[in-house]
Amino acid sequence: MTLKICFIFIILFFYGCYINKISANEECQLSRNNDMVDDCNCYISDLNQLNNQRLQPLLRQIVKKNYFRFFPVNLKKTCQFWPTDGQCSLRTCAIKSCPIEKLPETLRDSFNNNKLNRLINTKQDEQNNEIQCSTIDTNSTLGLVDTNLSEEHKKTIENWMKFDDVQSENFCDVDDETSTNLEYIDLLANVERYTGYTGISTQRIWSAIYNENCFFLPDSKLYYELRQKRLNANKLCLEGRTFYRLVSGLHSSISIHLCAQYFFPILGGGYSGTDGRWAPNLEEFKRRFAPDRTDGEGPIWLKNLYFIYLIELRAIYKARDYLQSQTYFTGNQTDDLHTKQLITNYLLKEIEPFANHFNENDLFKNGNEQLKVGFKEHFHNISRIMDCVGCDKCKLWGKLQIQALGKKKES
Protein backbone atom coordinates (compact mmCIF):
# COMPACT_ATOMS: atom_id res chain seq x y z
CA MET A 1 0.00 0.00 0.00
CA THR A 2 1.14 3.54 -0.71
CA LEU A 3 0.65 4.44 2.94
CA LYS A 4 3.44 2.13 4.15
CA ILE A 5 6.08 4.88 3.98
CA CYS A 6 3.96 6.84 6.43
CA PHE A 7 4.37 4.32 9.23
CA ILE A 8 7.69 6.10 9.76
CA PHE A 9 5.53 8.76 11.44
CA ILE A 10 4.31 6.23 13.99
CA ILE A 11 7.84 5.14 14.84
CA LEU A 12 8.99 8.76 15.04
CA PHE A 13 6.12 9.41 17.45
CA PHE A 14 7.09 6.57 19.76
CA TYR A 15 10.80 7.40 19.59
CA GLY A 16 9.77 10.92 20.51
CA CYS A 17 7.71 9.65 23.44
CA TYR A 18 10.76 7.86 24.78
CA ILE A 19 12.97 10.92 24.27
CA ASN A 20 10.36 12.95 26.13
CA LYS A 21 10.46 10.56 29.08
CA ILE A 22 14.28 10.54 29.15
CA SER A 23 14.59 14.33 29.04
CA ALA A 24 11.78 14.91 31.55
CA ASN A 25 13.36 12.81 34.31
CA GLU A 26 16.57 14.17 35.84
CA GLU A 27 17.75 10.66 36.72
CA CYS A 28 17.44 9.60 33.08
CA GLN A 29 19.13 12.55 31.40
CA LEU A 30 22.47 12.29 29.63
CA SER A 31 25.21 14.55 30.96
CA ARG A 32 26.00 17.84 29.23
CA ASN A 33 29.43 16.45 28.37
CA ASN A 34 27.68 13.76 26.34
CA ASP A 35 25.37 16.08 24.39
CA MET A 36 26.52 15.54 20.79
CA VAL A 37 24.95 12.77 18.69
CA ASP A 38 27.81 10.68 17.26
CA ASP A 39 28.44 11.01 13.51
CA CYS A 40 25.89 13.83 13.39
CA ASN A 41 26.46 17.54 13.87
CA CYS A 42 23.54 17.87 16.26
CA TYR A 43 23.05 18.39 19.98
CA ILE A 44 20.76 16.20 22.05
CA SER A 45 19.46 19.26 23.88
CA ASP A 46 18.29 20.72 20.55
CA LEU A 47 16.55 17.46 19.65
CA ASN A 48 14.84 17.40 23.05
CA GLN A 49 13.49 20.89 22.44
CA LEU A 50 12.32 20.06 18.91
CA ASN A 51 10.64 16.85 20.00
CA ASN A 52 9.07 17.89 23.28
CA GLN A 53 7.83 21.33 22.30
CA ARG A 54 6.98 21.04 18.61
CA LEU A 55 6.92 17.57 17.05
CA GLN A 56 5.19 15.53 19.74
CA PRO A 57 1.97 17.63 19.76
CA LEU A 58 1.76 17.26 15.97
CA LEU A 59 2.59 13.57 15.86
CA ARG A 60 0.12 12.83 18.63
CA GLN A 61 -2.64 14.08 16.31
CA ILE A 62 -1.26 12.42 13.18
CA VAL A 63 -0.92 8.87 14.50
CA LYS A 64 -4.57 8.87 15.59
CA LYS A 65 -5.73 9.47 12.03
CA ASN A 66 -7.29 6.48 10.29
CA TYR A 67 -4.67 6.67 7.54
CA PHE A 68 -1.98 5.70 10.06
CA ARG A 69 -4.06 3.65 12.44
CA PHE A 70 -4.28 0.31 10.62
CA PHE A 71 -1.11 -1.66 9.93
CA PRO A 72 -1.14 -4.51 7.37
CA VAL A 73 1.09 -7.32 8.59
CA ASN A 74 1.61 -11.06 8.32
CA LEU A 75 2.16 -12.52 11.78
CA LYS A 76 2.09 -16.13 10.61
CA LYS A 77 5.36 -16.44 8.73
CA THR A 78 7.61 -19.36 9.60
CA CYS A 79 10.93 -18.70 11.33
CA GLN A 80 13.71 -19.47 8.84
CA PHE A 81 16.62 -19.56 11.29
CA TRP A 82 15.86 -22.10 14.01
CA PRO A 83 13.08 -24.39 15.27
CA THR A 84 10.67 -22.17 17.14
CA ASP A 85 10.01 -22.54 20.84
CA GLY A 86 6.33 -22.00 20.20
CA GLN A 87 4.52 -19.02 21.62
CA CYS A 88 5.55 -17.30 24.84
CA SER A 89 4.30 -18.74 28.11
CA LEU A 90 1.48 -16.20 28.07
CA ARG A 91 -0.94 -17.94 25.72
CA THR A 92 -2.50 -14.66 24.70
CA CYS A 93 0.66 -13.81 22.76
CA ALA A 94 -1.20 -15.66 20.00
CA ILE A 95 -4.27 -14.41 18.16
CA LYS A 96 -7.18 -16.21 16.58
CA SER A 97 -8.43 -14.77 13.33
CA CYS A 98 -11.98 -14.70 12.13
CA PRO A 99 -12.59 -17.31 9.42
CA ILE A 100 -13.47 -15.82 6.05
CA GLU A 101 -17.10 -16.91 6.30
CA LYS A 102 -17.57 -14.75 9.40
CA LEU A 103 -16.29 -11.57 7.81
CA PRO A 104 -18.90 -8.93 6.92
CA GLU A 105 -20.20 -9.39 3.37
CA THR A 106 -18.47 -6.31 1.98
CA LEU A 107 -15.08 -7.41 3.32
CA ARG A 108 -15.67 -11.00 2.22
CA ASP A 109 -16.34 -9.81 -1.33
CA SER A 110 -13.23 -7.64 -1.24
CA PHE A 111 -11.20 -10.62 -0.07
CA ASN A 112 -12.45 -12.85 -2.86
CA ASN A 113 -11.89 -10.23 -5.55
CA ASN A 114 -8.67 -8.66 -4.31
CA LYS A 115 -5.75 -9.09 -6.68
CA LEU A 116 -3.42 -10.01 -3.80
CA ASN A 117 -5.93 -12.34 -2.14
CA ARG A 118 -5.36 -10.53 1.14
CA LEU A 119 -7.17 -11.39 4.35
CA ILE A 120 -8.45 -8.75 6.71
CA ASN A 121 -8.57 -10.05 10.24
CA THR A 122 -11.66 -8.88 12.08
CA LYS A 123 -13.52 -9.70 15.23
CA GLN A 124 -16.54 -8.28 16.99
CA ASP A 125 -16.77 -4.60 17.75
CA GLU A 126 -16.80 -3.92 21.48
CA GLN A 127 -20.11 -2.10 21.11
CA ASN A 128 -22.00 -4.89 19.34
CA ASN A 129 -22.06 -8.65 18.97
CA GLU A 130 -22.67 -8.97 15.24
CA ILE A 131 -19.45 -10.93 14.64
CA GLN A 132 -18.80 -13.83 16.98
CA CYS A 133 -15.06 -14.46 17.07
CA SER A 134 -13.52 -15.71 20.29
CA THR A 135 -9.93 -15.29 21.40
CA ILE A 136 -7.83 -17.94 23.10
CA ASP A 137 -9.20 -18.65 26.57
CA THR A 138 -6.57 -17.58 29.07
CA ASN A 139 -6.11 -15.59 32.27
CA SER A 140 -3.45 -13.34 30.70
CA THR A 141 -3.90 -10.61 28.10
CA LEU A 142 -0.55 -8.85 28.15
CA GLY A 143 0.63 -10.13 24.78
CA LEU A 144 -2.75 -10.32 23.08
CA VAL A 145 -3.19 -8.51 19.79
CA ASP A 146 -6.67 -7.00 19.73
CA THR A 147 -7.94 -7.31 16.16
CA ASN A 148 -11.37 -5.76 16.68
CA LEU A 149 -12.39 -3.43 13.87
CA SER A 150 -15.56 -1.36 14.02
CA GLU A 151 -17.97 -1.31 11.09
CA GLU A 152 -16.75 2.19 10.22
CA HIS A 153 -13.14 1.05 10.14
CA LYS A 154 -13.98 -2.02 8.05
CA LYS A 155 -15.57 0.30 5.50
CA THR A 156 -12.49 2.52 5.58
CA ILE A 157 -10.19 -0.40 4.78
CA GLU A 158 -12.53 -1.59 2.03
CA ASN A 159 -12.27 1.88 0.47
CA TRP A 160 -8.49 1.74 0.75
CA MET A 161 -8.43 -1.53 -1.18
CA LYS A 162 -10.54 -0.10 -3.98
CA PHE A 163 -8.40 3.04 -4.06
CA ASP A 164 -5.13 1.06 -4.17
CA ASP A 165 -6.37 -1.04 -7.07
CA VAL A 166 -6.27 2.00 -9.36
CA GLN A 167 -2.82 3.16 -8.22
CA SER A 168 0.07 2.21 -10.47
CA GLU A 169 2.96 2.89 -8.08
CA ASN A 170 3.93 1.98 -4.55
CA PHE A 171 6.64 3.80 -2.65
CA CYS A 172 8.01 0.54 -1.31
CA ASP A 173 7.03 -3.10 -1.71
CA VAL A 174 7.02 -5.28 1.40
CA ASP A 175 6.63 -9.04 1.03
CA ASP A 176 3.94 -9.14 3.73
CA GLU A 177 1.62 -7.29 1.35
CA THR A 178 1.56 -10.24 -1.06
CA SER A 179 0.64 -12.75 1.63
CA THR A 180 -2.65 -14.55 1.96
CA ASN A 181 -2.18 -14.26 5.73
CA LEU A 182 -2.18 -10.46 5.71
CA GLU A 183 -4.08 -8.90 8.60
CA TYR A 184 -5.01 -5.32 9.37
CA ILE A 185 -4.18 -4.50 12.99
CA ASP A 186 -5.59 -1.48 14.80
CA LEU A 187 -2.49 0.05 16.39
CA LEU A 188 -4.48 2.22 18.78
CA ALA A 189 -6.03 -0.94 20.23
CA ASN A 190 -2.62 -2.65 20.52
CA VAL A 191 -0.39 -0.21 22.38
CA GLU A 192 3.30 -1.05 22.53
CA ARG A 193 4.05 -1.99 26.14
CA TYR A 194 5.26 -4.72 28.46
CA THR A 195 3.97 -8.17 27.51
CA GLY A 196 5.89 -10.55 29.78
CA TYR A 197 7.85 -12.00 26.84
CA THR A 198 11.33 -12.43 28.35
CA GLY A 199 14.06 -14.97 28.93
CA ILE A 200 16.16 -17.12 26.63
CA SER A 201 13.88 -16.62 23.61
CA THR A 202 14.29 -12.84 23.63
CA GLN A 203 18.05 -13.11 24.17
CA ARG A 204 18.33 -15.41 21.16
CA ILE A 205 16.41 -12.89 19.03
CA TRP A 206 18.71 -10.02 19.99
CA SER A 207 21.81 -12.18 19.61
CA ALA A 208 20.78 -13.03 16.05
CA ILE A 209 20.00 -9.39 15.24
CA TYR A 210 23.34 -8.07 16.47
CA ASN A 211 25.16 -10.92 14.75
CA GLU A 212 23.79 -9.66 11.43
CA ASN A 213 26.23 -6.75 11.66
CA CYS A 214 28.84 -7.92 9.16
CA PHE A 215 31.15 -5.01 9.98
CA PHE A 216 32.58 -6.18 13.30
CA LEU A 217 36.35 -6.42 13.59
CA PRO A 218 37.84 -9.88 12.93
CA ASP A 219 38.89 -10.26 16.58
CA SER A 220 35.45 -9.58 17.99
CA LYS A 221 33.02 -12.38 18.68
CA LEU A 222 29.81 -12.18 16.71
CA TYR A 223 27.67 -12.99 19.69
CA TYR A 224 25.65 -10.54 21.72
CA GLU A 225 25.42 -11.10 25.47
CA LEU A 226 23.04 -8.69 27.16
CA ARG A 227 24.93 -6.15 29.34
CA GLN A 228 28.09 -8.28 29.31
CA LYS A 229 29.67 -7.93 25.87
CA ARG A 230 31.01 -4.44 25.08
CA LEU A 231 30.91 -3.61 21.39
CA ASN A 232 33.28 -0.78 20.49
CA ALA A 233 31.44 0.73 17.53
CA ASN A 234 33.92 3.61 17.27
CA LYS A 235 36.53 1.23 15.83
CA LEU A 236 34.25 0.32 12.95
CA CYS A 237 34.01 2.04 9.59
CA LEU A 238 31.19 4.56 9.12
CA GLU A 239 28.99 1.88 7.53
CA GLY A 240 29.54 -0.43 10.49
CA ARG A 241 28.89 2.30 13.03
CA THR A 242 25.70 3.27 11.22
CA PHE A 243 24.42 -0.31 11.12
CA TYR A 244 25.25 -0.89 14.79
CA ARG A 245 23.66 2.37 15.94
CA LEU A 246 20.49 1.66 14.00
CA VAL A 247 20.16 -1.74 15.67
CA SER A 248 21.15 -0.38 19.06
CA GLY A 249 18.70 2.51 18.73
CA LEU A 250 15.95 0.04 17.86
CA HIS A 251 16.89 -2.05 20.90
CA SER A 252 16.86 1.02 23.14
CA SER A 253 13.43 2.09 21.94
CA ILE A 254 11.96 -1.34 22.65
CA SER A 255 13.63 -1.50 26.07
CA ILE A 256 12.37 1.97 26.99
CA HIS A 257 8.80 1.13 26.02
CA LEU A 258 8.92 -1.83 28.41
CA CYS A 259 9.98 0.54 31.17
CA ALA A 260 7.57 3.33 30.22
CA GLN A 261 4.48 1.11 30.23
CA TYR A 262 5.29 -1.57 32.75
CA PHE A 263 2.70 -3.79 34.38
CA PHE A 264 2.60 -3.99 38.18
CA PRO A 265 0.24 -6.79 39.28
CA ILE A 266 -1.65 -6.44 42.52
CA LEU A 267 -0.38 -8.45 45.46
CA GLY A 268 -1.19 -12.08 44.78
CA GLY A 269 -2.47 -11.29 41.28
CA GLY A 270 -1.27 -12.60 37.95
CA TYR A 271 -0.15 -10.95 34.74
CA SER A 272 -3.54 -10.65 33.09
CA GLY A 273 -3.17 -6.97 32.33
CA THR A 274 -6.36 -6.27 34.26
CA ASP A 275 -5.53 -7.09 37.89
CA GLY A 276 -2.89 -4.43 38.41
CA ARG A 277 -1.71 -1.08 37.09
CA TRP A 278 0.34 0.24 34.19
CA ALA A 279 3.01 2.77 35.12
CA PRO A 280 6.63 3.76 34.37
CA ASN A 281 9.24 1.58 36.05
CA LEU A 282 12.26 3.77 36.81
CA GLU A 283 14.13 0.96 38.54
CA GLU A 284 13.83 -1.23 35.43
CA PHE A 285 15.07 1.69 33.32
CA LYS A 286 18.13 2.05 35.58
CA ARG A 287 18.79 -1.67 35.38
CA ARG A 288 18.90 -1.47 31.60
CA PHE A 289 20.68 1.86 31.09
CA ALA A 290 22.44 3.16 34.23
CA PRO A 291 26.23 3.42 33.66
CA ASP A 292 27.05 1.53 36.86
CA ARG A 293 24.84 -1.38 35.77
CA THR A 294 25.82 -1.59 32.10
CA ASP A 295 29.59 -1.31 32.34
CA GLY A 296 29.29 2.29 31.17
CA GLU A 297 27.43 1.40 27.96
CA GLY A 298 23.91 2.53 28.91
CA PRO A 299 24.31 6.22 27.97
CA ILE A 300 25.74 5.18 24.59
CA TRP A 301 22.69 3.02 23.94
CA LEU A 302 20.44 5.97 24.80
CA LYS A 303 22.37 8.23 22.42
CA ASN A 304 21.73 5.71 19.67
CA LEU A 305 18.01 6.36 20.13
CA TYR A 306 18.68 10.01 19.25
CA PHE A 307 20.73 8.84 16.26
CA ILE A 308 17.86 6.78 14.89
CA TYR A 309 15.49 9.68 15.60
CA LEU A 310 17.62 11.92 13.36
CA ILE A 311 17.64 9.22 10.69
CA GLU A 312 13.84 9.13 10.69
CA LEU A 313 13.62 12.93 10.50
CA ARG A 314 15.82 12.86 7.42
CA ALA A 315 13.82 10.05 5.84
CA ILE A 316 10.57 11.96 6.22
CA TYR A 317 12.02 15.16 4.83
CA LYS A 318 13.62 13.40 1.86
CA ALA A 319 10.19 11.99 1.03
CA ARG A 320 8.57 15.43 1.26
CA ASP A 321 7.61 15.60 -2.44
CA TYR A 322 5.89 12.25 -2.13
CA LEU A 323 4.21 13.20 1.13
CA GLN A 324 3.00 16.53 -0.25
CA SER A 325 1.48 14.80 -3.28
CA GLN A 326 -0.55 12.28 -1.27
CA THR A 327 -4.30 12.63 -0.67
CA TYR A 328 -4.19 10.49 2.53
CA PHE A 329 -7.35 8.85 1.27
CA THR A 330 -9.54 7.03 3.77
CA GLY A 331 -12.95 8.01 2.44
CA ASN A 332 -13.50 10.85 4.92
CA GLN A 333 -12.73 13.97 2.89
CA THR A 334 -12.64 16.38 5.84
CA ASP A 335 -10.39 14.16 7.93
CA ASP A 336 -8.15 13.39 4.96
CA LEU A 337 -7.66 17.10 4.29
CA HIS A 338 -6.79 17.73 7.94
CA THR A 339 -4.23 14.92 7.83
CA LYS A 340 -2.60 16.44 4.76
CA GLN A 341 -2.49 19.89 6.37
CA LEU A 342 -0.86 18.58 9.54
CA ILE A 343 1.90 16.95 7.51
CA THR A 344 2.53 19.43 4.71
CA ASN A 345 1.83 22.72 6.49
CA TYR A 346 3.30 21.94 9.89
CA LEU A 347 5.32 18.75 10.35
CA LEU A 348 7.61 19.09 7.32
CA LYS A 349 8.37 22.71 8.20
CA GLU A 350 9.37 21.77 11.74
CA ILE A 351 11.60 18.95 10.50
CA GLU A 352 13.41 20.95 7.80
CA PRO A 353 16.12 22.52 10.04
CA PHE A 354 17.09 19.04 11.27
CA ALA A 355 16.95 17.22 7.93
CA ASN A 356 20.65 17.30 7.06
CA HIS A 357 22.48 16.31 10.22
CA PHE A 358 23.23 12.88 8.79
CA ASN A 359 24.23 12.41 5.17
CA GLU A 360 23.78 8.86 3.92
CA ASN A 361 25.69 9.83 0.78
CA ASP A 362 28.88 9.50 2.84
CA LEU A 363 28.22 5.76 3.09
CA PHE A 364 29.66 3.17 0.70
CA LYS A 365 32.40 5.42 -0.70
CA ASN A 366 36.20 5.18 -0.98
CA GLY A 367 36.28 1.49 -1.81
CA ASN A 368 33.39 0.52 0.44
CA GLU A 369 30.80 0.34 -2.34
CA GLN A 370 30.70 -3.46 -2.13
CA LEU A 371 29.43 -3.19 1.44
CA LYS A 372 26.11 -1.83 0.21
CA VAL A 373 24.90 -5.23 -0.99
CA GLY A 374 25.82 -6.83 2.31
CA PHE A 375 24.24 -3.98 4.24
CA LYS A 376 20.93 -4.55 2.48
CA GLU A 377 21.16 -8.33 2.71
CA HIS A 378 21.81 -8.32 6.44
CA PHE A 379 19.02 -5.84 7.02
CA HIS A 380 16.64 -8.18 5.18
CA ASN A 381 17.75 -10.96 7.51
CA ILE A 382 16.87 -8.81 10.52
CA SER A 383 13.42 -8.38 8.99
CA ARG A 384 13.11 -12.16 8.76
CA ILE A 385 14.32 -12.65 12.33
CA MET A 386 11.17 -10.82 13.43
CA ASP A 387 9.22 -13.88 12.26
CA CYS A 388 10.94 -15.85 15.03
CA VAL A 389 9.53 -13.71 17.84
CA GLY A 390 7.19 -15.82 19.96
CA CYS A 391 4.86 -13.03 21.09
CA ASP A 392 2.48 -11.64 18.49
CA LYS A 393 2.27 -8.17 20.01
CA CYS A 394 6.08 -7.99 20.23
CA LYS A 395 6.28 -9.26 16.66
CA LEU A 396 3.76 -6.67 15.49
CA TRP A 397 5.75 -3.73 16.82
CA GLY A 398 9.08 -5.25 15.85
CA LYS A 399 7.95 -5.62 12.26
CA LEU A 400 6.56 -2.10 12.23
CA GLN A 401 9.84 -0.60 13.43
CA ILE A 402 11.97 -2.68 11.08
CA GLN A 403 9.79 -1.77 8.09
CA ALA A 404 9.98 1.91 9.02
CA LEU A 405 13.76 1.65 9.03
CA GLY A 406 13.55 -0.10 5.68
CA LYS A 407 11.64 2.83 4.22
CA LYS A 408 14.41 5.12 5.41
CA LYS A 409 17.03 3.02 3.64
CA GLU A 410 15.07 3.19 0.41
CA SER A 411 14.45 6.93 0.60
DSSP string of 12-59? HHHHHHHHHHHHH-TTTPPPGGG-BPTTSS-BHHHHHHHIIIIIHHHH
Predicted local confidence at residue 96, as pLDDT: 40
pLDDT digits 0-9 by tens, 25-42: 555 555 555 678 877 888
The answer to whether the CB of 395 falls within 8 A of the CB of 386 is: yes
Q: In degrees, to the nearest 5, what angle opens at C-alpha 303 toward C-alphas 295 and 403?
A: 115
The predicted structure's pLDDT at residue 334? 92
Q: What is the pLDDT of residues 354-402, one digit of tens each?
A: 988 887 777 777 766 667 777 777 778 888 899 999 888 889 888 888 8
Look at residue 172 and tell me whether its pLDDT is greater than 90: no
Q: What integer pLDDT is reported at residue 240 of this predicted model? A: 77
Which pLDDT value is given to residue 344? Answer: 95
- Integer CA distances (angstroms), 360 to 64, 243, 283, 356, 411, in order: 31, 12, 37, 10, 10
Q: What is the pTM of this model?
A: 0.75
Looking at the chain, the number of H-run helices and the number of E-run strands are 15, 4
For the chain, which residues make up each domain, given as ranges?
2-68+195-410, 70-189
Mean pLDDT, rounded, for 131-148: 45
pLDDT of residue 362: 77
Q: Can you give the pLDDT at residue 284?
A: 92
User: pLDDT-derived band of residue 2, with 50, 70 and 90 as boundaries?
Assistant: very low
The pLDDT of residue 145 is: 65
Give the pLDDT of residue 203.
85
Confidence of residue 290 (pLDDT cuts 50, 70, 90): very high
